């Protein structure tokens, strides 16, 4: 068993973490248990009743959180001509084509998200082996291969969160910062869970939302009753 520090132990000393909480209570407990000197990220983990080995149960999508993530996201856009100018005007941090590919091939990776116009995917494909394993490859399913650069860049800068279910059937995501306060974190959590429910595959049988946990960067995880979360959204 890992040993936790004094601050961690003090924060959860009087908390029974085996009890299933409402979503509101879970968020409140996480904020109360935070103790780091930096602005901790609030994380959510949802165990789903899906089998990711089947293509029709592989859940992958994105959602724009009402209050953003609290992170500064550096956006790189592969585009040429008028679309390059549009991307710069929309607030992209880096815009270009072959020169950016060469720079990335040289080891540069100082960006968080990538977007590309469809006509640039042949160029981007040359660095697929670099971007792919880091989840940085533009993807049409996530809306990051598009000619609508202005709206996509705005969404990413405004708090768009990409997510996918892992091999264990769990989805992890950051949904805000401790500094947001209870109301904003709760609204972000609700929006995230609502999106997950909307994505339920028709082939998924039995209980879909099986377990839900909220935590912060340094705090313990608090279990939330999935039935309460689903009822809250309804």
pTM as predicted: 0.81
**C-alpha dist (Å) from residue 91 to 86, 95, 152, 157:** 9, 10, 11, 8
Report d(CA 128, CA 149) in Å as an integer.
21
Q: Tokens 């890992």 label which residue?
A: 2
pLDDT in tens, 125-163: 999 999 999 989 999 988 999 999 999 999 999 889 999
pLDDT given at position 97: 95
Residues 194-203 pLDDT 10s: 999 999 999 8
Question: Residue 52 has what DSSP assignment?
Answer: T
Q: What is the pLDDT at residue 5?
A: 61
- Report the alpha-carbon distance of residue 7 to residue 29 in Å, rounded: 15
The pLDDT score that the predictor gives to residue 1 is 47
Higher per-residue confidence, 31 vs 7: 31
Q: Does domain 14-69+160-233 have CATH number 1.20.1250.20?
A: no
75-157 adopts what CATH topology? Answer: Rossmann fold (3.40.50)
Give mean pLDDT, residues 220-232.
86
Tell me what the mean pLDDT of segment 181-197 comes to: 95
* Region of residue 133 (phi > 0: left; psi between -120 and 50: alpha; otherwise: beta): alpha
Measured in whole angstroms, how far is the alpha carbon of residue 68 from the centre of its chain?
10
Nearest to 39 by CA among 178, 149, 186: 178
Cα distances (Å, whole numbers) of residue 54 to 74, 201, 211: 33, 11, 21
Mean per-residue pLDDT of the chain = 90
Does the pLDDT of residue 71 top 80, yes or no? yes
Ranges of each domain in the chain: 14-69+160-233, 75-157
pLDDT per residue over 16-67, tens digit each? 667 899 999 999 999 998 888 999 999 999 999 999 999 999 999 999 999 9
Strands 94-96 and 75-78: parallel
Q: What is the phi-psi region of residue 21: left when phi exceeds 0, alpha when psi lies from -120 to 50, beta otherwise?
A: beta
């Amino acid at each position: 068993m890992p040993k936790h520090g004094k601050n961690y132990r003090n924060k959860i000393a009087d908390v029974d973490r085996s009890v299933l909480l409402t979503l509101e209570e879970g968020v409140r407990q996480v904020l109360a248990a935070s103790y780091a000197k930096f602005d901790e990220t609030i994380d959510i983990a949802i165990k789903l009743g899906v089998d990711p080995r089947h293509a029709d149960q592989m859940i992958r999508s994105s959602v724009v959180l009402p209050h953003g993530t609290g992170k500064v996201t550096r956006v790189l856009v592969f585009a040429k001509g008028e679309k390059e100018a549009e991307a710069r005007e929309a607030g992209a941090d880096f815009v270009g084509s072959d020169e950016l590919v060469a720079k990335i091939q040289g080891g540069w990776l100082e960006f968080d998200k990538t977007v590309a116009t469809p006509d640039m995917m042949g160029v981007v494909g040359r660095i697929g082996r670099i971007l792919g394993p880091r989840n940085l490859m533009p993807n049409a399913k996530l809306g990051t291969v598009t000619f609508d650069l202005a709206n996509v860049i705005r969404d990413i800068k405004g708090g768009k969160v990409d997510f996918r279910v892992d091999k264990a059937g769990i989805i992890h995501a950051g949904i805000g910062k401790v500094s947001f306060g209870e109301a904003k974190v709760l609204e972000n959590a609700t929006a995230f869970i609502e999106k997950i429910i909307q994505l339920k595959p028709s082939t998924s049988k039995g209980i879909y939302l099986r377990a839900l946990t909220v935590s912060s960067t340094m705090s313990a995880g608090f279990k939330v009753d999935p039935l309460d979360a689903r009822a809250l959204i309804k």
